[in-house]
Structure 1
Amino acid sequence: MNDLKKGNAIEAAQQFIAQYFPHCDGALLAGSVVRGEATETSDLDIVVFDHTRMASYRESIVAFGWAIEVFVHNLTSYKQYFHEDYKKARPSMPRMVSEGIVLKDNGILDGIKNEAKLLLDKGPEEWTEQTVKIKQYFITDALDDFIGCSNKAEELFIANALAELVSEFVLRTNRQWIGHSKWVVRALLQHDEAFTLHFIQAFDIFYKTGNKQHIIQLVNNVLEPFGGKYFDGFSVGK
């Protein structure tokens, strides 16, 4: 996004706060416009803190020439979202707060931003050995289905499942934050660019040509440091 467009986004966000939340304690503009990654379909992500609100909520509004996603919190409700994001290893709210451009601040945002930064710097919880084995088993199961499948339609969905399972496994076993949708590849790139390019190429070749071998090799390479494919001996709830 060029500087003019970004400036327009900030101005629109400030106008939005002035009209819709004039008495709030603080507000931030976050998302793709802040990171310089906005596209023609990007919206404005605005986080609002208002001590008079009884509960948090999210709302979508079109105003000032922009589609706007507003996330409204009081001065404690955001903590639960921080905690839930931490447990899921998908820190969307902490990331918005940490990267956000200040639109308004009555002296509360430094502390909240610091909370977000500390959480992001800490990284997600380390997987237990049992969790690793469970995830390893389900990757093995999906891989075997993929290898044995001869139905093109089914292969596509198995490949999608493998991409999700393997990306999560690589990131979480390295104590990295995971993502959803476009944030999957962003998280992978931040962790290991070379692996990510290999990952993308393997799946791209399959989707274009039907050749499975690159995905099969990729998955086997990911599992190899953990003992390879895991089936014999797997048990849950015994």
Structure 2
Amino acid sequence: MRLSPKDAALKFVNRYFPKCQAAVLAGSVVRGEETETSDLDVLIFDKNFSSSYRESFIEYGWAIEAFVHNLTSYQVFFHSDRDRAMPSLPKMVSEGIVIKDEGIIATIKNEANVLLAHGPEKWSEEIIRIKRYFLTDILEDYIGCLKREEGIFIANRLAELVSEFVLRTNQHWVGTSKWTVRALKNYDIHFAELFVDAFDTYYKTGDKNKVICLVNHILEPFGGQLFEGFSLGKEEASNQLK
């Protein structure tokens, strides 16, 4: 018999991590977005472990992912998530339901909330310039591609770069897979709709125009497409010759 998410998480924690100082239930079940294939994400905080690890279980009718940390290892993941602009662990901590707490969760949740509110580091002008070049390069491949089987995968890559460019230049968190469109919606629901429509149109009909217009639109405020005059690593190479 499948227990409720919270009951299953509590039994799981008591069985496998009875000495932990805190546990949090996170993921789609706490957001009301669970599906038939959803699992339970359970965060464990236990001072007795020397490092963090992840382990999968099948218990109480659920697939359960345990993310185990000591009382400091989670901070390494917080910083790593901020560096890559994908706040997986901070978001889980922030929105999670407390299953067990010996007085430490409030501090950890506050750290997560501060990080989430701050957002990722702002892109430098040089990073934006590099990203403009690679967007231009992939766009040209996309425009010139005559093979449907290749175009599908070029479009996939272009979608990743477009979402990353829009979100990072606006200092918003990014996402992958299903989190791509969720991150775009968190930024701007209207843009997210345009993004989905453009790529959906291409996948359904082969019409590239909406995607091309979308890419040019997001590049325009930063100087548009970039190819001529772009270089990468030239200065370092020149210095080695001196």
Unpaired stretches in structure 2, ≥5 consecutive residues: 235-242
Q: Using the alignment, how far apart are the partners of 2:18 and 2:92 within structure 1?
A: 21
Which residue in the other structure is 1:177 paired with? Answer: 173
1:51, distance to aligned residue in structure 2 (A): 0.3
Q: Does 1:50 align with 2:46?
A: yes
Structure 1 position 199 matched with structure 2 position 177: no
Q: How does 1:1-238 map to 2 (within 5 A)?
A: 8-238=4-234
Any idea what SS the aligned residue of 1:124 has? coil
* Structure 2 counterpart of 1:165, one-letter code: L
For 2:48 and 2:122, how far apart are their aligned partners in 1? 37
Partner of 1:179, secondary structure, is coil
Q: Distance in 1 between matches of 2:73 and 2:222?
A: 40
Looking at structure 1, the residues matched to 186 and 91 of structure 2 have their Cα atoms a distance apart, in angstroms, of 14
State, as a whole percentage, how many aligned pairs show the same letter.
60
> Displacement of 1:180 after TM fit?
1.1
User: Could you list the runs of 4 or more consecutive aligned residues of structure 1 that deviate by over 4 angstroms after TM superposition?
Assistant: none
Distance 2:118 2:221 in 1: 25
Opposite residue 24 of structure 1, the aligned amino acid is: C
Query: C-alpha separation between the residues in 1 aligned to 2:132 and 2:114?
Result: 30
Normalising by structure 1, we get a TM-score of 0.97
Q: Secondary structure of 1:166's partner?
A: helix
- The letter for the 1-side match of 2:55 is E
What amino acid does structure 2 have at the position aligned with 1:40? Answer: E
The alpha-carbon deviation at position 233 of structure 1 amounts to 1.1
Offset of 1:31 from its aligned partner? Answer: 0.4
Letter of the structure 1 residue corresponding to residue 142 of structure 2: F
Q: Deviations over 1:80-120 (max 9, x none)?
A: 00010010000000000111100000001110110000000
Aligned amino acid, residue 187 of structure 1: A
Q: How far has the Cα of 1:47 moved from its partner?
A: 0.2
Cα RMSD (Å) of the superposition? 0.9
Query: Distance between the aligned counterparts of 1:179 and 1:173, measured in 2?
Result: 14
Unaligned runs of 5+ in 1: none
Instruction: State the distance in 2 between where 1:74 and 1:115 align.
Output: 15
Question: In structure 2, the residue corresponding to 1:138 is in which secondary structure?
Answer: helix
The residue number in structure 1 matching 2:240 is none
* Count of residues paired in the alignment: 233
Three-state SS of the structure 2 residue aligned to 1:168 is helix
